[in-house]
Structure 1
Amino acid sequence: MKVTQIPFQKIGFFSKTMLDYLEKNPKINPFYNNFPDFEGFQKQIAEKQTSFSKSSRLVLAEALKNQYESFEISEKTKTNISLLKKEHTFTISTGHQLNLFTGPLYFLYKIISAINLAEELSVKFPNQNFVPVYWMATEDHDFDEINYFNFDGKKVTWNRKDGGAVGRFSTDGLDAVFDVFSEHLGNSKNAQYLKKLFADGYLKHHNLADATRFIANELFAKYGLVIVDGDDAKLKELFIPFVRDELEHGTSFKAVSKTIERLANNYKIQVNPREINLFYLGDDYRERIIFENNLYKVNNTEIAFSKDEIFKELHKNPKAFSPNVIMRPLYQEVILPNLCYIGGGGEQAYWLELQDYFNAVNIPFPILLLRNSVQVISEKQARKLAALNISKEELFLNQHELITNKVVENTAIETNFKDKKQFLEQQFLDLKEVAKKTHISFLNAVNAQERKQIKGLEKLEKRLLKAEKKRQTHLVERITILQNELLPNQSLEERQRNFSEYYLEYGITFIDVLKIALKPLELQFTILEI
């Protein structure tokens, strides 16, 4: 195994928002609290310790005990759940949708980032306990985003009727998906493990939340990972005051609207708030709550409440009130003694819209940490890159730019016409001096001819490069094939591939080397050669 760290700035796949955040650009500083370094964590510990109550800890621990009741868990996870009752225990959390068979590779990177950071903080702050948490997005209803995963260039899809919170979805029909997936895997020892993991997860559990918990627990329980399902009546009871505030005062809309007005001066806005940022959740639907004609209505249904009725419903049935993308982060921070949220660039960009809202409701805003990103390169691929003289930074160039650079490097012909253009421009300068002594019409003619000649040279320059690429067809094909292998669809592989491709080849070693390689607080992109 060989690990190389490269600044995110050199990769080319990360937004201006995230790059400015990593560089602590003054333009973005007003939109977050503490930065992800040891000094920031020391401050965050002090803030969270005084704001998270003992009673909330007991509710959380009891809820987690109930959620895990029918699961076999490691002693380390059991210990971590118990530690959450103690006032010096804090969580490091990440979250992810309930993608079929974990979805894209970065599911692993998020969770390992949380595990490794919790371990690193335990060493730095020995008087505190740190628990890694995976927050399952069980209340999402964007089924089209989670009903598939990619394996070996093929899309493995679960087709079923959409509707409601995905965590409650029955796993019926996943036996057909299992049959299709199994055909692709073969019969190696690693293939047999993947088949068993899929079957035990989806064919032995009745809903998607339990299936996902089982799979994540199987992969990471030995590291003490705690998995939280927010679709829980006892946890929702802790959130009642904030739901009531939202229904009565629309605090999130007011606070976030002001924030994004300032943020939009320099950055792209990820999400926009609604006047009420809550859904009403039923067994097979999740619909927005809207306020019209002095009534709280559930969109696309006949359900409606007066003000008194909806508050009674909130206390009687808090599980029915589901936060949307604006309020979900607050819900997480209300029920967890959380210090840090680890997520991708898009996630962190919308968290940056929320600090003023957190301040308005007096909840500490967590540290935001960009998750580890990884490019896996096999030994064979590393040898090919070396043979083609492609550096690790160059690998992430636009394919046209990469090929052009390498073709130019590999030719003895001068393909850059810069000197010729400068010579031509000098000749026309002399002509212009002559033209200035005659009529303006001649000067205009000289200027027009200059533009024509320069443009002609530029066209010839492009034609020469095109011809040289044809002459070096073999080199161009090798570069194209290799980069497409490493960056499928000209995107980071972590957004395209499923972990099963690498597990099939390397087995548990793949997760073990990730665990060793990922350094969350170094804030760099990781290239892993195995």
Structure 2
Amino acid sequence: MDDCLNYEQTQRFSNLILDYINQKSSLSSFYHRFPDTQNFKSQILEKQAQYNNEHRAVLVDVLNRQYQGFKVSDSTQNHIDTLHQENTFTITTGHQLNLFTGPLYTFYKIITVLKTCEQMKSRYPQYNFVPIFWLASEDHDFEEINHFYFENQKINWSKKASGAVGELETDGLKSVLEIFDKALPQTELANQLKGLFREAYLNHKSLSQASIYLYNNLFGSKGLVVLEPNQKPLKSCFKHQIKAELLQQITFKKVNSTSKALKAQNYHEQVTPREVNLFYKDKNLRERLILKNGTYFVNSTQLAFSKEQILKEVKNNPEKFSPNALMRPLYQEVLLPNLSYVGGAGELAYWLQLKSTFNSFDVPFPMLQMRNSALLLSGKTKGKLERLNLDINDLFQSKIELKNQQTRKISEIDIDFSSQKTHLSKQFEALYKIAEQTDKSFLNAVAAQEQKQHNGLDKLEKRLLKAQRRKLADGIDRSVRLQDKLFPKGQLQERIINFSELYLTYGKQFISLLYTEFEPLEFKFSIIKLETKLSSINHKFVSNCI
């Protein structure tokens, strides 16, 4: 069994992302530097020359105050302290405040960042590299974050919610814990999971505070720094860009131009810009700003500002201006001494719309680094694959493709009519020779008859395949059930399952083992086969392209 796949083999990624990973030359104008070890040095020198080092003091002060009341590891505190130094840079990822961390790929993002920092420190010891997890606390789409899946059960938080999700109070989560408790087995690791959920959500007032606790508990020992960006001192560092966006609509103009250029190469636009790419935020409110006839209106409210009033509001209350998906990257890069952003395919697709916007704001465009992806297999699953004579690549096919493939494998009848089609074509060769000696209409008639005969064979082949699928349903269904288990809801495993399913078997060790196995700059899809016994897994994970 292969230990990794090219992203093309998974059939799950857009042409835009595949072409980016393969560094297709026609895409080079849409990004700055491709993330490799050598380019990190060039990125360091550029960021060092252009970063506003006054932001360092603000950043460190905010982080120290943010972490008050939390147990901070020596590694995390050291990372915060080193941000004062001009030779310190960040590598960043971020995510929404999904309940109990949401899908597993959130862990993959974080581990990619941690591992990249470690490798860059080894390569460039004269610099410091701080791993940042940026909480998307200002998002307001509660329905996207109010649940997680545990063994195909949707654990849901029902609540009337409005405004920035990070400010939501955690009331009502006691009942969610009760539902989760009933789904869990009675084991020590299950008790640890319940304790983690209880401490995070029942002992912290806001969703942001709960999320800081959760990620700090899971990744603090490896030095992860969690950043809550929805804070006035941090927004004050972004005032200049907020004003420019309000007055000049730079993002709207530049992204529209870039999107046209991407569409000209048959790539789809990921995010459509608005004239003003900012929200107005207040208690229980986050609504987009609309510019109309020189007045700034707050959507779905009675609030409106003249040009003078909106600029005064930026000066006095910058925290009330919240960037949307296209402005948030700029906020991050203005605030942080950042080198690389680690994201999934969808995120990188909208980042690829932003380089000209960054150029207009005179902010260095970061390297765009695809996070690690993986399919995790238990030893039991590996055994099933072998018994069913399946290669892991087979399971990335569509369901009907998998059924047809397995039908052909299992069937004692040869369902492939290729030899018959070849024989048929040879029979028509003689007719074509005769046709060439007469008029064109007869030649066309021969060609039409050949096509008719080939179509007939295709239909017979499909009917035979369908009949054999019915006859051999039991054997085929075992392959389909295995595919359904590894690709829940027809999606990549990492997009659905929650870390808790792995924690029940491996505890926190699975984080360290993924950390060991991931190679951030290889840009491959890993297949990781897990040992089944907790005591035996320290050195028995197998993965990566060696």
TM-score normalised by length of structure 1:
0.97
SS across alignment from 2:284: coil
Letter of the aligned partner of 1:104 in structure 2? P
What CA RMSD, in Å, does the superposition of the two structures yield over aligned residues? 1.7
Match of 1:304 in 2: 304
CA drift of 1:412 comes to 4.4
For residues 276-296 of structure 1, the C-alpha deviation after alignment (integer angstroms, 9 at most, x for no partner) is 111000111101111123211
Match of 1:463 in 2: 463
Higher mean C-alpha deviation, range 333-342 or range 487-496:
487-496
Measure, in 2, the Cα distance between the counterparts of 1:361 and 1:502: 44
Match of 2:182 in 1: 183
Verify the 8 A CA contact 1:3 1:529 in the aligned structure 2: no
Match of 1:251 in 2: 250
Verify the 8 A CA contact 2:281 2:321 in the aligned structure 1: yes
Measure, in 2, the Cα distance between the counterparts of 1:396 and 1:363: 40
SS across alignment from 1:59: helix
CA drift of 1:405 comes to 2.2
Measure, in 2, the Cα distance between the counterparts of 1:490 and 1:310: 47
CA drift of 1:227 comes to 0.5
Measure, in 2, the Cα distance between the counterparts of 1:433 and 1:54: 81
Measure, in 2, the Cα distance between the counterparts of 1:443 and 1:222: 77
Verify the 8 A CA contact 1:3 1:526 in the aligned structure 2: no
Match of 1:362 in 2: 362
Match of 2:509 in 1: 509
Are 2:217 and 1:218 equivalent residues in the alignment?
A: yes
Measure, in 2, the Cα distance between the counterparts of 1:32 and 1:293: 35
Q: Structure 1, unaligned stretches of length 5 or more?
A: none
Verify the 8 A CA contact 1:338 1:366 in the aligned structure 2: yes
CA drift of 1:434 comes to 4.2
Measure, in 1, the Cα distance between the counterparts of 2:466 and 2:496: 31
Measure, in 1, the Cα distance between the counterparts of 2:421 and 2:35: 50
Letter of the aligned partner of 1:482 in structure 2? L
Relative distance call for 1:448 and 1:6 in structure 2 (3 A) is: closer
Match of 1:45 in 2: 44
Higher mean C-alpha deviation, range 460-469 or range 339-348:
460-469
Higher mean C-alpha deviation, range 434-443 or range 482-491:
434-443
Relative distance call for 1:432 and 1:101 in structure 2 (3 A) is: same
Relative distance call for 1:107 and 1:427 in structure 2 (3 A) is: same
Measure, in 2, the Cα distance between the counterparts of 1:528 and 1:268: 32
Letter of the aligned partner of 2:78 in structure 1? T
Match of 2:395 in 1: 395
Higher mean C-alpha deviation, range 407-416 or range 437-446:
437-446
Measure, in 2, the Cα distance between the counterparts of 1:477 and 1:304: 60
For residues 69-100 of structure 1, the C-alpha deviation after alignment (integer angstroms, 9 at most, x for no partner) is 12111111111101001000011100100001
CA drift of 1:482 comes to 1.0
Match of 2:535 in 1: none
Match of 2:27 in 1: 28
SS across alignment from 2:527: strand
Are 2:514 and 1:529 equivalent residues in the alignment?
A: no
Measure, in 2, the Cα distance between the counterparts of 1:445 and 1:199: 77
Letter of the aligned partner of 2:12 in structure 1? F
CA drift of 1:322 comes to 0.5
TM-score normalised by length of structure 2:
0.94
Relative distance call for 1:436 and 1:50 in structure 2 (3 A) is: closer
Match of 2:8 in 1: 9
SS across alignment from 2:226: strand
Q: Structure 2, unaligned stretches of length 5 or more?
A: 531-546
Relative distance call for 1:472 and 1:244 in structure 2 (3 A) is: same
- The 5-angstrom pairing of residues 23-422 of structure 1 reads 23-266=22-265, 267-422=267-422
For residues 382-433 of structure 1, the C-alpha deviation after alignment (integer angstroms, 9 at most, x for no partner) is 1111222222222212222223223323344322112212222332343344
Relative distance call for 1:64 and 1:428 in structure 2 (3 A) is: same
- Percent identity over the alignment? 44
CA drift of 1:515 comes to 1.3
CA drift of 1:57 comes to 0.4
Measure, in 1, the Cα distance between the counterparts of 2:107 and 2:281: 29
Measure, in 2, the Cα distance between the counterparts of 1:448 and 1:81: 75
Verify the 8 A CA contact 2:375 2:494 in the aligned structure 1: yes
Higher mean C-alpha deviation, range 59-68 or range 398-407:
398-407
CA drift of 1:445 comes to 5.3
SS across alignment from 2:35: coil
Relative distance call for 1:374 and 1:443 in structure 2 (3 A) is: closer
Higher mean C-alpha deviation, range 452-461 or range 228-237:
452-461
Measure, in 2, the Cα distance between the counterparts of 1:31 and 1:79: 36
Verify the 8 A CA contact 1:3 1:517 in the aligned structure 2: no
Measure, in 2, the Cα distance between the counterparts of 1:336 and 1:440: 73
For residues 42-77 of structure 1, the C-alpha deviation after alignment (integer angstroms, 9 at most, x for no partner) is 110001111123311011000111111121111111
Measure, in 2, the Cα distance between the counterparts of 1:476 and 1:419: 25
Letter of the aligned partner of 2:401 in structure 1? E
Higher mean C-alpha deviation, range 494-503 or range 453-462:
453-462
Are 2:18 and 1:19 equivalent residues in the alignment?
A: yes
CA drift of 1:519 comes to 1.1
SS across alignment from 1:28: helix
Measure, in 2, the Cα distance between the counterparts of 1:519 and 1:88: 25
SS across alignment from 1:162: coil
Verify the 8 A CA contact 2:97 2:165 in the aligned structure 1: yes
Verify the 8 A CA contact 2:402 2:480 in the aligned structure 1: no
For residues 344-396 of structure 1, the C-alpha deviation after alignment (integer angstroms, 9 at most, x for no partner) is 00000000000001011110000100000111100010111122222222221
Relative distance call for 1:523 and 1:435 in structure 2 (3 A) is: closer
Letter of the aligned partner of 1:387 in structure 2? R
SS across alignment from 1:27: helix
Measure, in 1, the Cα distance between the counterparts of 2:452 and 2:339: 63
SS across alignment from 2:208: helix
CA drift of 1:305 comes to 1.3
Verify the 8 A CA contact 1:104 1:497 in the aligned structure 2: yes
SS across alignment from 2:264: coil
Measure, in 1, the Cα distance between the counterparts of 2:426 and 2:228: 71
Relative distance call for 1:525 and 1:445 in structure 2 (3 A) is: closer
Are 2:477 and 1:487 equivalent residues in the alignment?
A: no
SS across alignment from 2:521: helix
Match of 2:500 in 1: 500
Paired positions, count: 529
Measure, in 2, the Cα distance between the counterparts of 1:441 and 1:347: 57
